[in-house]
Chains A and B, each alone.
Chain A
Amino acid sequence: MDPFDDDLVEAGPDDRYFDYCLEPYEPRRPWRGKLRAESLLWAALRIADEREWLEAPLRAVSTAVGRDLVVWGLKWDGRRIGLELYFYDPRKEDAAATMTAVGRVLEPWMKLEPQVRESIPYFMASLEPSADAVRAGRLEAMRLYLAGERGHAGRSYRLDASGFELENTYRFFDPRRDIEDVLALARASVFVDYGDRRVLAQVLPPELMACRKVCIAKKRRADGVYFSGIDVEALAWFLRRHAWPGTLVEIVLRHRTRFEHVWFDVGVDVRTDATSGRIEFPKSSFYGTM
């Protein structure tokens, strides 16, 4: 038996489906007998040798916040897989979704050091739990996300011992109906040189532009582009393109028919390398819920 078969979690009749903004969606296909996206989270953590450190705190958080309501993001910089967890509570109705409450749940494994003033109108917050954090017994930083104009935009702030720092801005679009805005914001870049006509297709590749929602982010050292609502074939293409560990790609491909009901979300950081003039992707990521 494949050791990764242990990571596969079957879809249940009561599963709910949310994208990485925790917006609900109709699964693409009937999901009975298929797999939950979180199967890939567990497989990736096993590949990263972090599963044994992180499984217990992750399950505790999921139980506290609610099944399907924690968004996970896996990141790859070409060397290691990292994890970020996102908690949404746009209306602050659920006490379990405040960062203060999440911090209490995580306390037995890692203490969340920054204290959040809960009167800040954040609609989302994120943490980066890791085996190192569990070994150290503490998480030194978190991020808070605040809404921008009309709810189609946002900003993120990093919070650590030294206080808040503005990190990124985000803007969401319909990739077809808002195409002019997508192009204008993508091109308004200090990091990416769009001089060569092929660059746009590298940043916005056709395989991913067939998505449901696109997000353009402006970050401190790169631009970010996120594609929400891609199918498992496009996910496999994306993982291969960004040279994710072969074992993970293989798992996706082997079980592609059992992930066909899921809309996945993916993202990249992108910039032009000053020396070679080539486009580079210092980080890629994909998302699901648990």
Chain B
Amino acid sequence: MQTPEGRFEPTRFEELTITVGFRCHSACKFCIVREGMNDFRGVPLERFASLAADNARHRRYRRVVLTGGEVTLEPALFDYLAVARTGGFEHVRLQTNGRRLRDAQFARRLMEAGVDEFFVSLHGPDAATQDLVSEREGSFDEAWAGMCNLAAMGACLMTNTVMTSLNADRLADIVERVAPLRPVRMEFWYYLPMEDVEDRRDLLVPMAELAPRLRTALDRCVAHGIEAVVKYVPRCLLGEHGDRLDNAQPDVVIAEDFYEHYPKFSCLWEARCEHSEHCLGLHHPYVHKYGWEQDLLVPQPRTRPWRAPTWGPAAPVDRPGRRHLPVHPDERAEGHAPWRALVEGVAERHGARLAEVLLQRRACVFRFEIGDGGVDVVLTARSENGPALVRTASFDVHYRNPSGADREACIALVRDAARAIATRDPGGMRLEARKGLVGAEARRSAAR
């Protein structure tokens, strides 16, 4: 959500996406590559190697996702995969249009090189629909052959469907078509315009039309025992499938200005709705085209007071095929434990409670409750001269939102937490200073 306090961007703290390049042999009508990012060269291999080496030391990311453009067109793909193997990642995911996987030998080589999750784009149940979307005749047949190869090899197959006006009425058909291949997961993403914010291409489909069709598709997934995930659709429109909404995205190594194009989201009922910390509402291009949908969207009355979001909660562990299983407490805490340890015991010393640890790409927030109020202690990446209460080996320490009658108690707690963090911070705990991780060097010099 977008508020004056900041922008709530759900981040999955465990995944790193490496954009290998933006070359592609399809031309999907909705794709960001055709929408203005096509001067991006990709993350240089050396840059990835240094990120992988860092991860091997600090084990921040459990999964690396290699994406494009079309990643299988990258001549150095197997070099990237070799680097990925050295990075201490548990999973290597390939995000692909699947067309080159029709070559079974190539698909097998990828598996042998360490790819254990294939995230394949599937925008239609048949050639007529998908080729219209991809603007390449034969692309569906090639991708279908690729998916069949993966299924035959017993690979972990996941599909990704971008929902637009071109395929909104075929969502259930897509499920039926792919179900025999036993995909581990099907993801359905509502289209995000990056550049065509006025939607001159008419790809945005009204939620009133989309939602019932999407719910039917999700019903079909349930019937087939396929895990389903939805992104960028208001949760209140998903009916009983509300918990399939997962708007989190991995950390993305991509050109800095990618995020300038990234749509913002809002919902008029944000402060009223129990789900607003996880649901994004509607993106702004949608609101401009179809309105706020204030009658269609139905807030779930809140049981907790609403606070303007800044970073929002971190998304839970992503385990394809096991989303519906309860997450073991150890697994949920994984990654958080070293962060929690920074302030272990502080709350107790002040008769307070550590209510939440929000771990995000650019910040770690310790939310303390004390008396009738509370205070957030916030860590951001260490800077040399930015404002900070205290600078520790890894962080700038700040606080915000002190509330409640006893300000003295709040201040004492903040001081104690800052001291504890400064003492315990071993150095090398990573938060990103900025969003993107590569800059101008990754752009092609030609104008867009």
Contact = CB atoms under 8 A, between A and B. Distances in A.
Contacts, number: 58
B268 A197 contact: no
A210 B292 contact: no
B266 A209 contact: yes
B291 A176 contact: no
B106 interface: no
A233 to B, nearest CB: 9
Given A177-B271, A205-B288, A206-B284, A183 B4 contact: no
B264 interface: yes
B306 A201 contact: no
Interface string A192-203: 000001111100
B294 A200 contact: yes
Given A198-B289, A212-B4, 19 more contacts: A179-B269, A179-B271, A183-B294, A197-B291, A197-B293, A198-B288, A199-B291, A200-B291, A200-B294, A205-B287, A206-B264, A206-B292, A207-B264, A209-B266, A209-B268, A210-B3, A210-B266, A211-B4, A231-B4
B4 A229 contact: yes
A14 to B, nearest CB: 17
B292 A200 contact: yes
Contacts of A229: 4
Contact of A210 (B4, B269, B288): B4
B272 interface: yes
B386 A179 contact: no
A179 B271 CA distance: 8
Looking at chain B's contact residues, is the secondary structure mostly helix, strand, loop, or mixed? loop
Interface residues of B, number: 24
Nearest to A198: B291
Which of B291, B386, B387 has most A Cβ within 10 Å? B291
Contact of B3 (A30, A176, A183, A197): A176
A215 B132 CA distance: 47
A263 interface: yes
A177 B306 contact: yes
Contacts of A204: 292
A69 interface: no
A211 B2 CA distance: 9
Interface string B258-290: 000000101011111000000000001001111
A205 B292 CA distance: 9
B272 A179 contact: yes
14 contacts: A30-B386, A30-B387, A176-B308, A177-B271, A197-B293, A197-B295, A198-B290, A198-B291, A205-B288, A206-B2, A206-B266, A206-B288, A210-B264, A263-B4
Which of B4, B290, B291, B306 has most A Cβ within 10 Å? B4
Contacts of A198: 288-291
B5 to A, nearest CB: 9
Contact of A176 (B271, B386, B387): B271
Interface in A162-184: 174, 176-177, 179, 183
Interface residues of A, number: 23
Contacts of A207: 264, 284
A54 interface: no
A197 B291 CA distance: 6
A47 B78 CA distance: 58
Interface string B127-160: 0000000000000000000000000000000000
Contacts of B295: 197
Contacts of B290: 197-198
A254 B387 CA distance: 25
A279 B409 CA distance: 52
A266 interface: no
A205 B4 CA distance: 14
Contacts of A201: 287-288, 291-292
Contacts of B268: 179, 183, 209
A82 to B, nearest CB: 28
A61 B264 CA distance: 41
A230 interface: yes
Contacts of B269: 179
A168 to B, nearest CB: 25
B223 to A, nearest CB: 34
A174 B271 CA distance: 10
A184 B29 CA distance: 40
Q: Which 7 A-B pairs have the closest CB atoms?
A: A176-B271, A197-B291, A198-B291, A206-B266, A210-B2, A206-B284, A201-B291
Contacts of B293: 197
B438 to A, nearest CB: 20
A230 B4 CA distance: 7
Contacts of B271: 174, 176-177, 179
Contacts of B306: 176-177
Which of B268, B284, B295, B306 has most A Cβ within 10 Å? B268
